[in-house]
Chain A
Amino acid sequence: MSLIFSFIPYIKRLIVLILILFGLAVGFILSKALFDLSIYSNAVFDFMIDKSSYNVAYFSSSLIGALGIISFIGLVLLVGSWVERRMIAKFQIRVGPNRVGIFGLLQPIADAIKLMQKEVLVPAVADKLLFFIAPVAIFIPAILAWAPIPWGPNMTYLNINIGILYIFAVSSLTVPIIFFAGWSSMNHYALLGSMRTVAMMVSYEIPISLSLLSVVIITGTLNLTEIVLWQSSNSIWLGLLIPFSLFTFFFSSTAEINRTPNDIAEAESEIVAGYHIEYSGMKAGLFMAVELGNAVLLGALVTSLFLNGWFLFGLENYIPPYIIFIAKTVAIYIVLIWLRATLPRFRLDQLMNFAWKMLIPVSIINFFMIAIETTIITNLDSSKYIIYLFAIINIAVFVGLIILWSKIFKIDKFSPEKIAPIFAQKIGGIKAMEGTKSVD
């Protein structure tokens, strides 16, 4: 009997294990049917083209795909907020939400219900129209940007040749909307927050575009699917080949989507909540949801651009490819949570300095280097292994450039000797203090 009781603390873990095994089993059985989800929209297309015109068929089949992506975003918003809260709780030696449903899994739904019930306050002097539009409008780019993401071999909703440009253009739409939100609130905190956002986004678009340019020049295409296929055909992850671009893209994107350590637009300890300080109820919830959705979108972008998309050492033949893609996306998202739980926040001027003095010049150097390498690769198409050589060279240059730049701007590593305590030799005022210093 006591043996049974001794298992009680492990029952939760046991349940998790059983659930995972169950999920894997079901996934394996269904994997034939779920291996490529594009067959369903194709089936709808085939069905509709017999009954009606091409346009109607195209529209209805594309609706199925859009439904899939939007329901994924909805799921991510629900599960993601739970994952983030639980993980941060683990980092902070707390328990986290565990009351609503098993492991607190229903907590996001309870939160949403609570937020919807709350009154949405509108400040008396606010610009009512813009104040109303902003939280709705900010959702549009957040969803549109998901369109060209390659989920699997045939699973790209919008397989256009200018995929990167499209994402770049759509995500820039966020800037004016955030500015609308801050300006229309008629609150100094909100205005400060939106000004900071605009300043930061304008600065960090440049390193992002430079890092994406490196990707484009080396793969020779703007199409996200083809970038993924280039990586698998050359059997190297772009993240290893051009690590500096990965770093620049990831860091700058955290500034774009307001995540720690660059979340100065809504720095809690300084300007309380930044541009959405005056929003309450579900409108504030929409801003938070967009933020979370953008974090996952960053994960998806990094996955497809730098981490070889749905490919994972041949495993993509046995597991549905989009599952691999989502797993990589979630891994990047977890890195973001990890950063959020560990790091303090930069100051605005420090971030600006970092962008203009460090990221942009080094990105330009990196870009020229990759241009030279690309010329060599395209002209010497016989030798495939030269790419691995370049990967090693690039990693070495990445480390070297960082050291060089920190030397140029005199950012020396803080040595542990400097934090050794100084103890008073003599108690007193200024005179005793001079005595202490001469002893040292």
Chain B
Amino acid sequence: MTVQENYELNIGPQHPSTHGVFRIKVSMNGETIEDLDMIVGYLHRSMEKLSEERTYTQNIPFTDRADYLAAMSNNLGYCLAIEKLANVIPPQRATVLRVIFAELQRIASHAMANGTLVSDAGAWQTPLLYMFREREKILDLFEMTCGARLTTNYMRIGGVAFEPPAEFYPLLNDLLGELPDKIDEYMDLLSTNEIFIARTKNVGIINPKDAINASLSGPALRGSGVPWDLRKADPYCDYDNYDFDVPLGLIGDSYDRFMVRMFEVKESVKIIKQALNNLPLGMHKTQIPLALRPEPGQLYFRTEGPRGELGYFVVSDGGPAPYRLHIRPPSLINLSLLKQLAIGSSLPDAIVTLGSIDIVVGEIDR
């Protein structure tokens, strides 16, 4: 008598395509996935507990380390939330500088996400390294402004930490000039590549109703065609004054999510150009008390991070440290549909789907 059993395969914690210490335990029947269990927490640093012991300003570095590929965006979301809670109004120049840096960070993050997606589809790291070329330049800009490349710690409550140096602007202009051409180059290399299309088209289709119901956000939601972008819907940092479009996907497969990121980079370039034209003179920071004590209250404030709705839920009891600080992690919540998407598909398809959703494990575990 033969007994047919599924076998278990541990994808991760150390695996080339889990993008960090993330583990998926799959039960396989041949090459088909029958059951899936995500195991996260290898990078849990209990940021939310630690932040209850530190002042509001001391918590900013934690937000760098939550999503280490989009530190600027996380800084921005946290500082905006605390400013709203404590009624601090940043100077106009700081707001525009914040937009510039947040959009640069979005470009860098999307370059990383798309590069690793193509690597997951099996390209021998060539597109990844091409996209790293632009990301390197952006990280160089960060380094000359705030001294750090990944964990920037640049935004402050009431402004930004430093004024960018004089040589920042010509380099940024050069970068903005060549970025659209470079994006077209990647389009030539990948978007019409038959093998890449065969690997990503119709793989991991998320229909819009499921996407909304499963709390998806960011490119994962827009890839399904839902026109929801917090920069337009709930404008912060005067995003309503900028002229940009929200690219959407057609059917919600991995290819659409890839393309949405590609086009968003072009839109980000547009935003940065407008911001540079309207950069006002003045202070880059307002003076705030060393131990900021907001009024007792609570606030849920969200921004559009590169991976989706990046929310900060802050409860203040009037003391110098937050009574409770919760980070809404888009990477974790975007994974809600992974199980439904992966069951019944083959292992390579599941890997591509995971790559197209774009997770950062530091943010999942916090």
Is there a direct interface between A and B, measured as CB atoms under 8 Å apart in the complex?
Answer: yes
Chain A interface residues (CB < 8 Å from chain B): 88, 91-94, 188-189, 192, 260-261, 263-264, 267-272, 340-350, 414, 416, 419, 421-430, 432-433, 436-437
8 Å CB contact of B8 from A93, A188, A422: A188
Once the chains bind, are A91 and B126 in contact (CB under 8 Å)?
A: yes
Once the chains bind, are A424 and B259 in contact (CB under 8 Å)?
A: no
Once the chains bind, are B212 and A429 in contact (CB under 8 Å)?
A: yes
- Cα distance A267–B349 when bound, in Å? 13
- Cα distance A432–B149 when bound, in Å? 39
Which chain B positions have C-beta within 8 A of A429? Answer: 212, 226, 228
| CB of B263 closer than 8 Å to a CB of A | yes
- Cα distance A423–B228 when bound, in Å? 11
- Cα distance A426–B133 when bound, in Å? 35
Once the chains bind, are A424 and B122 in contact (CB under 8 Å)?
A: no
Once the chains bind, are A433 and B226 in contact (CB under 8 Å)?
A: yes
- Cα distance A272–B16 when bound, in Å? 7
Q: Residue of A at shortest CB range from B194?
A: A414
| CB of B325 closer than 8 Å to a CB of A | no
- Cα distance A189–B249 when bound, in Å? 34
Give the Cβ gap from A309 to chain B, nearest Cβ, in Å. 31
Kindly list 10 other residue pairs between chains A and B, CB separation below 8 angstroms, not including A188-B7, A427-B232: A267-B348, A269-B351, A343-B195, A345-B195, A414-B192, A419-B192, A421-B263, A427-B227, A428-B228, A433-B208
Which chain B positions have C-beta within 8 A of A426? Answer: 227
8 Å CB contact of A422 from B228, B247, B349: B247
Once the chains bind, are A347 and B263 in contact (CB under 8 Å)?
A: no
How many positions in chain B have a CB within 8 Å of any CB in the partner chain?
54
Given contacts A345-B122, A347-B346, contact A419 B208 (CB under 8 A): no
- Cα distance A271–B122 when bound, in Å? 11
8 Å CB contact of B122 from A189, A344, A422, A437: A344
Once the chains bind, are B347 and A345 in contact (CB under 8 Å)?
A: no
Once the chains bind, are A422 and B248 in contact (CB under 8 Å)?
A: yes
Which chain A positions have C-beta within 8 A of B120? Answer: 269
Once the chains bind, are B351 and A343 in contact (CB under 8 Å)?
A: no
Once the chains bind, are B233 and A260 in contact (CB under 8 Å)?
A: no
Which chain A positions have C-beta within 8 A of B228? Answer: 427-429
Give the Cβ gap from B189 to chain A, nearest Cβ, in Å. 8
| CB of B105 closer than 8 Å to a CB of A | no
CB contact list, B301-316 vs A, under 8 A: none
Which chain A positions have C-beta within 8 A of B191? Answer: 419
Chain B interface residues (CB < 8 Å from chain A): 7-9, 15-17, 28, 31, 118-126, 129-130, 133, 187, 189, 191-199, 208-209, 212, 225-229, 232-233, 245-250, 259, 263, 346-349, 351
Which chain B positions have C-beta within 8 A of A425? Answer: 227
- Cα distance A426–B225 when bound, in Å? 12
| Number of A-B residue pairs at CB separation under 8 A | 137
Which chain A positions have C-beta within 8 A of B349? Answer: 347
Once the chains bind, are B133 and A93 in contact (CB under 8 Å)?
A: yes
Once the chains bind, are B245 and A269 in contact (CB under 8 Å)?
A: no
Give the Cβ gap from A355 to chain B, nearest Cβ, in Å. 15
- Cα distance A36–B213 when bound, in Å? 76
Given contacts A188-B9, A427-B227, A428-B228, contact A343 B246 (CB under 8 A): no
Once the chains bind, are B196 and A419 in contact (CB under 8 Å)?
A: no
Give the Cβ gap from B227 to chain A, nearest Cβ, in Å. 3
Give the Cβ gap from A43 to chain B, nearest Cβ, in Å. 47
- Cα distance A429–B233 when bound, in Å? 11
Q: Residue of A at shortest CB range from B123?
A: A344
Q: Residue of A at shortest CB range from B266?
A: A421
Give the Cβ gap from A267 to chain B, nearest Cβ, in Å. 6
- Cα distance A91–B122 when bound, in Å? 16
8 Å CB contact of A428 from B121, B209, B227: B227
Give the Cβ gap from A197 to chain B, nearest Cβ, in Å. 13
Name 23 A/B residue pairs within 8 A (Cβ), A-sorted. Answer: A92-B125, A92-B129, A93-B129, A93-B133, A188-B8, A192-B9, A261-B195, A269-B122, A269-B351, A343-B193, A344-B121, A344-B122, A344-B123, A344-B196, A347-B348, A414-B197, A419-B192, A419-B259, A421-B245, A421-B263, A423-B245, A433-B208, A436-B227
- Cα distance A304–B200 when bound, in Å? 38
- Cα distance A91–B130 when bound, in Å? 9
Give the Cβ gap from A225 to chain B, nearest Cβ, in Å. 36
Once the chains bind, are A348 and B8 in contact (CB under 8 Å)?
A: no
Which chain A positions have C-beta within 8 A of B194? Answer: 414
Once the chains bind, are A427 and B121 in contact (CB under 8 Å)?
A: no
Max chain B C-beta neighbours (<10 A), residue from A263, A341, A343, A421: A421
Once the chains bind, are B351 and A270 in contact (CB under 8 Å)?
A: yes
Which chain B positions have C-beta within 8 A of A423? Answer: 245-248
Max chain B C-beta neighbours (<10 A), residue from A188, A340, A344, A421: A344
Once the chains bind, are B199 and A345 in contact (CB under 8 Å)?
A: yes
Given contacts A93-B129, A422-B248, A427-B233, contact A267 B122 (CB under 8 A): yes
Q: Residue of B at shortest CB range from A354?
A: B198
Give the Cβ gap from B37 to chain A, nearest Cβ, in Å. 16
Once the chains bind, are A270 and B17 in contact (CB under 8 Å)?
A: yes
- Cα distance A429–B126 when bound, in Å? 37
Which chain B positions have C-beta within 8 A of A437? Answer: 225
Give the Cβ gap from B326 to chain A, nearest Cβ, in Å. 24
